[in-house]
């Protein structure tokens, strides 16, 4: 039996339960699984086996850099493999020490084990952080697996007969004996039409499942049980605080989150786009640690998408930030596309993920191992402009037509929209007023039906979690649609370079507080998005950033310029791969694109990348 030590972190995990393999077979298969995800943890690779279980770990050292902190980590009668960080491990450790627990290491993995010994499966409720782990309880013959509240870290599994296989990426599971490449056509369709890499527990393969955010999985007595341990609580009353008090609380929670997310024994850096979210993180970090040198990383496209003027303002205000900029050439885009596509595990559903790939590459080339990033706030603070359809629709539904029209006009004025665009927003707002969130998504999804040769697409199933249309919309952005896809690529692009990406806006205390706020606290009556973030950070953000009204997202020139330039070979599509779709309709759309009609450029990009995925990675 292997007796190995370890603690932390941005890593790759893999393993299985199978009583039919001997020890050599267990080790051989685990090694094969780990080899496929070696990029996730280049610092150490170890395997633990016993009679029915195999646990494997590739380690990237972040906290407690000693070899004693290697994994699989054994503590009393439990063994764990762990990908992620428990940011409040120091506080949890202090509480456990008061209860008589002792520790031989300085990181969070041993704290996880002791917490399990003390609180059992409820230990995850004590943690603040991001994680996916598998813990083998030798006494109970139980495998306890968990994924963090928002699904920042991935956990895939195959439940097969009496056995179970798991891993950090698709790649780790493609070599297990029971794996079959049967495609989940419905997920393929969602990717093509909705740009979702993730839907509930489904993946691009029918037999491969993803453990849902905020859920635990337990294998015991040859059975798998999955339970939810966390969700947004919509029974909480609306905050009765005044505006100043709310701003103060948001600021305090965000400050604490950035402080906790900055804990590491290696160099920290930050992704800095010049947008509100990344600038807030960089500004808060610099406020907390003014004497520390922090590298920032920005990708830009000259004469196209170039937000460096906003980055300059942040760097001017905080001289401790050492900025690094990168603008990919056509040659670099062409040269790196295959590797970016390989690491993504699923088709590249947008060109922005290539930009993010270069961003993580830049950070790693500058010696950074931990990068703070701004994912998450748009989803719960109303940062996306299609939030307005729901807000205006909510007013119409409540027969508050004057209020709804006032917000519509403020939104049109803020974005400087045309009369035609105003009509379009009004039409969509009315539709949101009379339709459930589920119906709104399905209306968009059904747009794919014209390309399908058989039955139409299946319904998207998003239940109403609250009567408040705005909060219901934000909840599904956070837990089911947009954010889950962004986190998928965030993980793959960072781990492609053995880089840990941390997302301070996804501290669950911040999210829980945000859902007790009034809608006006997030989108005010002047149609200013993420109002509480802007106003609470007013004293530390450069004014020009705090007052930014444009919502860029991670925009690139990819869907048009790249697909017509360095990546034009992607348009040589083998339509026979899409045998459930109408070849004539797909061809027609692509041919129109080639002739200069870019109205469906994003769809063409997704189709071309799906074809590339078929040819190279399926």
On whether both 154 and 269 belong to a single domain, the answer is: no
Residue 151 main-chain phi, psi, to 5 deg = 75, 35
| Domain stop point among 479, 505, 534 | 479
Whether residue 3 is contained in a domain is answered as no
* H helix runs in 446-481, sequence order: 469-479
What sign has the CA pseudo-torsion 193, 196, 197, 198?
A: negative
On whether both 413 and 445 belong to a single domain, the answer is: yes
On whether both 192 and 215 belong to a single domain, the answer is: yes
Strands 294-299 and 129-137: unpaired
For 520-534, give one letter per residue: b (16+ CB within 10 A) or e. ebbbbeebbbbbbbb
On whether both 597 and 462 belong to a single domain, the answer is: no
DSSP code of residue 211: P
| pLDDT attached to residue 4 | 30
What sign has the CA pseudo-torsion 116, 122, 126, 131?
A: positive
| pLDDT attached to residue 267 | 77
On whether both 369 and 308 belong to a single domain, the answer is: yes
| Domain stop point among 423, 454, 479 | 479
Query: 3-state class of 399 per DSSP?
Result: coil
| pLDDT attached to residue 509 | 97
On whether both 443 and 351 belong to a single domain, the answer is: no
On whether both 287 and 412 belong to a single domain, the answer is: no
| 446 and 457 Cβ atoms separated by less than 8 Å | yes
Helix (H) or strand (E) holding 244: helix 243-261
On whether both 91 and 205 belong to a single domain, the answer is: yes
Whether residue 465 is contained in a domain is answered as yes
On whether both 143 and 154 belong to a single domain, the answer is: yes
Q: How many domains does the chain have?
A: 4
Rg (CA), the chain: 24
Rounded Cα–Cα distance for residues 595 and 615 (Å): 25
Whether residue 460 is contained in a domain is answered as yes
| pLDDT attached to residue 243 | 97
Whether residue 57 is contained in a domain is answered as yes
CATH of residue 267: 3.40.50.620
| Positions in the chain whose pLDDT score sits under 50 | 1-8
Whether residue 68 is contained in a domain is answered as yes
Rounded Cα–Cα distance for residues 293 and 313 (Å): 17
Cα-to-chain-centroid distance, residue 173: 20
Asked whether the bond before 72 is cis by omega within 30 degrees of 0, the reply is yes
Whether residue 419 is contained in a domain is answered as yes
On whether both 35 and 75 belong to a single domain, the answer is: yes
Provide the domain limits for residue 425: 385-479
C-beta atoms surrounding 141 within 10 Å: 16
Tell the burial category of 290 from Cβ atoms under 10 Å away from its Cβ (0-12, 13-18, 19+): exposed
Cα-to-chain-centroid distance, residue 104: 33
Whether residue 553 is contained in a domain is answered as no
DSSP code of residue 560: I
Strand partners, 133: 82, 146
CATH of residue 119: 3.60.20.10
Helix (H) or strand (E) holding 588: helix 583-594
| Domain stop point among 195, 228, 261 | 228
The label of the residue with tokens 């495609």 reads: 183
On whether both 164 and 287 belong to a single domain, the answer is: no
On whether both 464 and 486 belong to a single domain, the answer is: no
| pLDDT attached to residue 305 | 82
Whether residue 5 is contained in a domain is answered as no
């Amino acid at each position: 039996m292997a007796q190995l030590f370890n603690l932390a972190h941005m890593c790759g995990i893999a393993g299985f339960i199978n009583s039919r393999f001997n020890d050599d077979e267990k080790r051989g298969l685990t090694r094969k699984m780990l080899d496929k995800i070696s990029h996730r943890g280049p610092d150490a690779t170890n395997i633990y086996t016993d009679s029915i279980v195999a646990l494997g770990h590739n380690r990237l050292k972040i906290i407690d850099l000693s070899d004693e902190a290697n994994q699989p980590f054994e503590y009393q009668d439990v063994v764990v493999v762990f990908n992620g960080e428990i940011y409040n491990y120091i506080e949890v450790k202090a509480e456990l020490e008061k209860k008589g627990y002792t520790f031989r290491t300085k990181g969070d993995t041993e704290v996880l084990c002791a917490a399990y010994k003390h609180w059992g499966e409820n230990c995850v409720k004590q943690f603040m952080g991001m994680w996916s782990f598998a813990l083998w309880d030798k006494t109970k013959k139980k495998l306890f697996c968990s994924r963090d509240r928002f699904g920042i870290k991935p956990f895939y599994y195959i439940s097969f007969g009496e056995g179970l296989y798991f891993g950090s990426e698709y790649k780790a599971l493609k070599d297990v004996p029971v794996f079959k490449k049967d495609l989940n056509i419905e997920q393929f369709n969602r990717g093509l039409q909705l740009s979702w890499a993730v839907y509930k527990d489904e993946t691009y393969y029918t037999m491969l499942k993803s453990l849902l955010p905020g859920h635990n999985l337990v294998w015991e007595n040859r059975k798998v049980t999955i339970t939810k341990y966390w969700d947004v609580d919509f029974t909480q009353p609306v905050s009765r605080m005044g505006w100043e008090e709310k701003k103060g609380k948001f600021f305090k929670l965000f400050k604490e989150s950035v402080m906790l997310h900055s804990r590491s024994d290696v160099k920290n850096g930050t992704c800095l786009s010049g947008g509100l979210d990344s600038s807030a993180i960089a500004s808060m970090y610099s406020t907390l640690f003014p004497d520390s040198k922090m590298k920032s990383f920005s990708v830009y496209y000259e004469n196209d998408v170039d937000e460096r003027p906003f980055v300059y303002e942040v760097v001017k205000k905080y001289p401790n930030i050492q900025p690094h900029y990168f603008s990919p050439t056509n040659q670099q885009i062409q040269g790196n596309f295959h590797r970016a596509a390989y690491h993504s595990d699923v088709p590249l559903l947008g060109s922005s993920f290539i930009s993010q790939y270069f961003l993580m590459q830049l950070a790693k080339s500058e010696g950074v191992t931990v990068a703070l990033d701004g994912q998450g706030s748009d989803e719960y603070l109303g940062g996306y402009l299609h939030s307005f359809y729901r807000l205006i629709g909510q007013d119409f539904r409540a027969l508050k037509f004057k209020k709804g029209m006032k917000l519509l006009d403020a939104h049109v004025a803020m974005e400087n929209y045309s009369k035609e665009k105003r009509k379009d927003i009004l039409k969509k707002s009315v539709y949101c007023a009379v339709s459930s969130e589920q119906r709104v998504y399905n209306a968009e999804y059904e747009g794919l039906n014209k390309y399908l040769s058989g039955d139409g697409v299946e319904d998207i199933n998003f239940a109403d979690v609250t009567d408040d249309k705005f909060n219901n919309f934000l909840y599904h952005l956070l837990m089911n649609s947009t954010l889950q896809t962004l986190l998928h690529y965030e993980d793959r692009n960072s781990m492609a370079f053995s880089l840990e990406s941390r997302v301070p806006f996804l501290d669950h205390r911040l999210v829980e507080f945000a859902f007790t706020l009034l809608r006006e606290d997030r989108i005010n009556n002047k149609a200013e998005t993420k109002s509480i973030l802007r106003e609470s950070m007013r004293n530390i953000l450069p004014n020009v950033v705090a007052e930014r009204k444009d919502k860029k997202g991670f925009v690139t020139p990819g869907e048009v310029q790249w697909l017509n330039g360095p990546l034009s070979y992607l348009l040589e599509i083998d339509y026979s791969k899409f045998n459930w779709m109408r070849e004539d309709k797909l061809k027609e759309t692509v041919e129109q694109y080639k002739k200069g009609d870019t109205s469906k450029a994003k769809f063409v990009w997704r189709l071309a990348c799906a074809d590339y995925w078929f040819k190279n990675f399926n």
